[in-house]
């Protein structure tokens, strides 16, 4: 297994952990996964073109998993934004309003 393949395998593990964290809305685990992905992406950039060519199939799978996680993150962000809008609607100037309890 070459550097690119080893890095892709490590990224796939991090992406699986990140998906689980997104589903749990575990922000600290999501942040940890982001840091790990950054380190692994830096390592991937040092892989040779030959190693990357040998990992073509793995790269395609990695791209699909990265896209899936990106979609999950975008959806989670939208859900949180919606929850904030419901809890504290925006005023006409775009600022968030205050929460008010109806009694």
- Domain-wise residue ranges, the chain: 3-87
Residue scoring higher pLDDT (54 or 87): 54
Predicted pLDDT of residue 82: 83
Reading phi first (left if > 0) and then psi (alpha if -120 to 50, else beta), residue 14 is in alpha
SS3 96: strand
Q: Residue 103: pLDDT band by 50, 70, 90 thresholds?
A: very low
What pairs with residue 96 in β-bridges?
90
Rounded mean pLDDT of 16-41?
95
3-state SS, one letter per residue, for 60-94 = HHHHHHHHHHHHHHHHHHHHHHHHHHHHCCECCCC
Of 16-20, 69-73, 82-86, the range with the lowest mean pLDDT is 82-86
Q: Residue 97: pLDDT band by 50, 70, 90 thresholds?
A: low
């Amino acid at each position: 297994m070459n550097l690119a393949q080893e890095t892709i395998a490590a990224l796939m593990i991090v992406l699986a952990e990140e998906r689980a964290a997104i589903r749990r809305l575990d922000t600290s685990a999501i942040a940890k996964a982001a840091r790990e992905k950054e380190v692994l992406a830096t390592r991937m950039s040092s892989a040779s073109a030959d190693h990357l060519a040998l990992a073509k199939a793995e790269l395609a799978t990695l791209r699909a998993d990265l896209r899936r996680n990106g979609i999950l993150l975008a959806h989670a962000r939208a859900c949180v934004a919606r929850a904030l809008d419901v809890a504290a609607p925006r005023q006409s100037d775009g600022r968030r309003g205050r929460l008010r309890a109806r009694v």
